[in-house]
Structure 1
Amino acid sequence: MWLFSTSIIELPPTLRYRRSNMPLISMWIACKEPDIKLWLNESVEMLKLLKNTGMLIINIKLRILVDGFSAKMDIFYYGVIADCPALKLILNFIGHGEAEQTGTNVYGHLGRCILDSILDISLPVSIICDYVHVTLLRHFKDVVKVISRGLFPSQRKNIDSKLERQSFPHYFRRKMRGIKDFSYIKASELKNLLLYGFLPVFYNVLSSNILGHIALFICAVRLLHKSKKTFGESTGDIADEFFKLYHEHHNFYYSYLENFVLHLHSHYSTSYKLHGSLSYVNTFAQEDLMGSIASNRNGTYIELFIRTYMFLVKHN
């Protein structure tokens, strides 16, 4: 299932990522990846029409309620964020696997992006790296797997026990899973492990070199996860230096992990300066939206369509 949804960035984050404030534009349900032009042509034309005509708001409440008051709101489209396979399709950009099979240039384009006609921020500035998939579900998860393979079974069992028993405040939606359950781990659980759990739990079982190396990565992500209040405008530059050191010595500790997702971290500093902190620019809400639509289906597409329809009725 593929979703094409939007969010209203003028809203504060606490309201922006509520399901009722995330308009669902279109959905593709199939066993293979979608044909972007076939799927999104009409949706993009609709968004273009909305951009040209604006949105009419009737009887809105300002500080004083005025009967019959109406206002026109102009629509601007800021950017696009998704995981790498979805970005490859919607940006019409050739993927690494496809390039290897066809022998074409890995950096080549396949044509114009379908969103090029509506985005107000020009490409590639409007492309936003999604740290949920790049950092949490790919790189950090792979690193923890590699590290755990080098531990004794008794050490892994002890670590699992500590992770599962770790207490969190009531407003944390998820706790942490043990290493043995990594096949079922969620991005929010990996975020808690990255930001809060890894260094204290693994402190006594890893060498100082490995621990210091992964600490560079964790500190860089934590810097980009917050606002600029602590270190000011240099926050992104400090995090970038940490990422460079981490990348420079990466092959000393890990094999076969110097891949595309590791390279994407070199762009995080620029993304932080342009778009804001990682805690506000991610796809946690979109993944939650997708899960809420797809949950409890009975294996038939008809059931999924019905649940999608009920979701739209509930939130619109």
Structure 2
Amino acid sequence: MIKVYGVIGDTPALNLILNHKSHVGYSCCWYCHIIGTHIGGKRQYYYDENVSLRSAADFEADSRRAESLGKSVNGRHGTSILKKVVDIPLPDSIVADYLHTTLLGHAKAVCVYLYKQYMRPQERIHFNKKIRAQRFPHFFNRKIRTFEEPYLKATEIRNMFLFCILPMIREILHVDLVAHLALFVLGIRKRLHLMELNNKSSCAKLLHGRPEFGNRTADIANKLLTIYYRDHETFYVGLQNFVLHIHSHFADLYKKHGSLCNINTFSQEDLMGVVSKLKHGANHWADQLVFYLNIDFALNNEVNHTEPTVLIRTPKGVFDNTLMPNELCQVVSSFTPENAFSHVYIHI
């Protein structure tokens, strides 16, 4: 029996599949009844500690009422196609995507705002020199780029936001502004994975943030993000948008779903990028994807007699084998690198 846990994605995709109001409209939050305010041509969602949360019963009732009336009710346009698919009732099965919400959403907007609104031209030149001179260990896989360049990648923003932004701007911007940004950076770092080097096996691992404060770690992270959200209007204008508001629900999301909010988001984007390269033209996409993925699977499903090693081969496609360390192969006795993908198949 197949169980469907929930749904995760960026905001436009979630609104579409949930049959919910757009993220620039009133009452657009999936988790609470915040309405929002229209200021300066933008919808702003200011901090409100008394906002009521949506329950599964409220979500279902609003969906049915919107379906019968033919108009929006508390942000709901009608019943979602996921109603009979997910095993956990909505909105508890909705998982906010950290990659789009935090990195490509609010963190990128804040960094660009600081760069353009608070830094003088000479300070920008000095800041750009620091960025170009910054070096990372080899397992970071991507350098950081200046905020003047277009199409910044999520990994570039992650490396800048989590590791570089605070020490680079502390001598440029006012201490109050830097301290306020530190609330956001530290609050996110408490919830997200950190890259560490495992000396025992000499391989890089993605580890979840260590609970330095025990069971109070999640509560402390939530307090940091709450204070940041509450005082956000003091330093920024027009950035109290929906992606900032979603961070006020991160505490509940991580208690319900754990690391699902941030694990696998990057790999899903990589998968979409790989698949998008397999389509050509504007017609018969499904046939093209099946054709090329079957070729990729056939080429990578050959029996590999190479001894297990600690080296991880760089992936080149969807079904590339990964040579696992001996320690990991011993976790499940039936698992070996030779038969890792012997039961994988594509069905569209």
The TM-score normalised by the length of structure 1 is 0.69
**Per-residue deviation, residues 137-167 of structure 1 (Å, max 9, x unmatched):** 1111111111111212222122122212211
- The whole-number CA distance in structure 2 between the counterparts of 1:285 and 1:122 is 26
Change in Cα spacing, 1:212 to 1:312, as seen in structure 2 (3 Å) is: farther
Show structure 1 runs of 5+ residues with no match. Answer: 1-73
| More displaced 10-residue stretch of structure 1: 270-279 or 198-207 | 270-279
- Asked if 2 retains the 8 angstrom alpha-carbon contact of 1:76 and 1:119, the reply is yes
Change in Cα spacing, 1:106 to 1:134, as seen in structure 2 (3 Å) is: farther
- Asked if 2 retains the 8 angstrom alpha-carbon contact of 1:136 and 1:191, the reply is yes
State the Cα RMSD in Å: 2.4
Match of 2:259 in 1: 277
- Asked if 2 retains the 8 angstrom alpha-carbon contact of 1:251 and 1:258, the reply is yes
Match of 2:134 in 1: 166
Match of 1:94 in 2: 21
Change in Cα spacing, 1:208 to 1:285, as seen in structure 2 (3 Å) is: same
Q: Does 1:251 align with 2:218?
A: no
User: Shift in Å at residue 231 of structure 1?
Assistant: 2.4
Equivalent AA in structure 1 for residue 139 of structure 2: Y
- The whole-number CA distance in structure 2 between the counterparts of 1:296 and 1:210 is 46
Match of 1:145 in 2: 112
Match of 1:310 in 2: 292
Match of 1:9 in 2: none
Q: Does 1:197 align with 2:164?
A: yes
- Asked if 2 retains the 8 angstrom alpha-carbon contact of 1:92 and 1:113, the reply is yes
Residue identity over aligned pairs, in percent, reads 39
Q: Secondary structure at the match of 2:274?
A: helix
Alignment partner of 2:282 out of 296, 301, 311: 301
Change in Cα spacing, 1:234 to 1:106, as seen in structure 2 (3 Å) is: farther
Within a 5 Å distance, the mapping from 1:1-316 to structure 2 comes to: 74-97=1-24, 107-149=74-116, 150-181=118-149, 183-225=150-192, 226-227=208-209, 229-277=211-259, 280-281=262-263, 283-295=265-277, 300-301=281-282, 306=288, 309-314=291-296, 315=319, 316=345
Show structure 2 runs of 5+ residues with no match. Answer: 27-37, 39-70, 193-207, 297-318, 320-344
- The whole-number CA distance in structure 2 between the counterparts of 1:170 and 1:237 is 34
User: Shift in Å at residue 309 of structure 1?
Assistant: 3.4
User: Shift in Å at residue 205 of structure 1?
Assistant: 0.4
Match of 1:19 in 2: none
Equivalent AA in structure 2 for residue 242 of structure 1: L
Change in Cα spacing, 1:235 to 1:97, as seen in structure 2 (3 Å) is: same
- Asked if 2 retains the 8 angstrom alpha-carbon contact of 1:81 and 1:129, the reply is yes
Change in Cα spacing, 1:190 to 1:207, as seen in structure 2 (3 Å) is: same
Equivalent AA in structure 2 for residue 276 of structure 1: G
- The whole-number CA distance in structure 2 between the counterparts of 1:197 and 1:108 is 38
- The whole-number CA distance in structure 1 between the counterparts of 2:109 and 2:241 is 11
- The whole-number CA distance in structure 2 between the counterparts of 1:278 and 1:165 is 34
- Asked if 2 retains the 8 angstrom alpha-carbon contact of 1:227 and 1:277, the reply is no
- Asked if 1 retains the 8 angstrom alpha-carbon contact of 2:191 and 2:209, the reply is yes
- The whole-number CA distance in structure 2 between the counterparts of 1:194 and 1:220 is 12
- The whole-number CA distance in structure 2 between the counterparts of 1:246 and 1:163 is 25
Change in Cα spacing, 1:96 to 1:296, as seen in structure 2 (3 Å) is: closer
**Per-residue deviation, residues 162-216 of structure 1 (Å, max 9, x unmatched):** 21221111111211111211x2200111111111011111121011000000000
**Per-residue deviation, residues 112-139 of structure 1 (Å, max 9, x unmatched):** 2212212122211110111111111111
Change in Cα spacing, 1:312 to 1:284, as seen in structure 2 (3 Å) is: farther
- Asked if 1 retains the 8 angstrom alpha-carbon contact of 2:17 and 2:82, the reply is yes
Change in Cα spacing, 1:173 to 1:251, as seen in structure 2 (3 Å) is: same
Q: Paired residues, what number?
A: 238
- Asked if 2 retains the 8 angstrom alpha-carbon contact of 1:91 and 1:114, the reply is yes
Structure with a larger share of its residues in helix: 1
- The whole-number CA distance in structure 1 between the counterparts of 2:12 and 2:254 is 22
User: Shift in Å at residue 229 of structure 1?
Assistant: 3.4
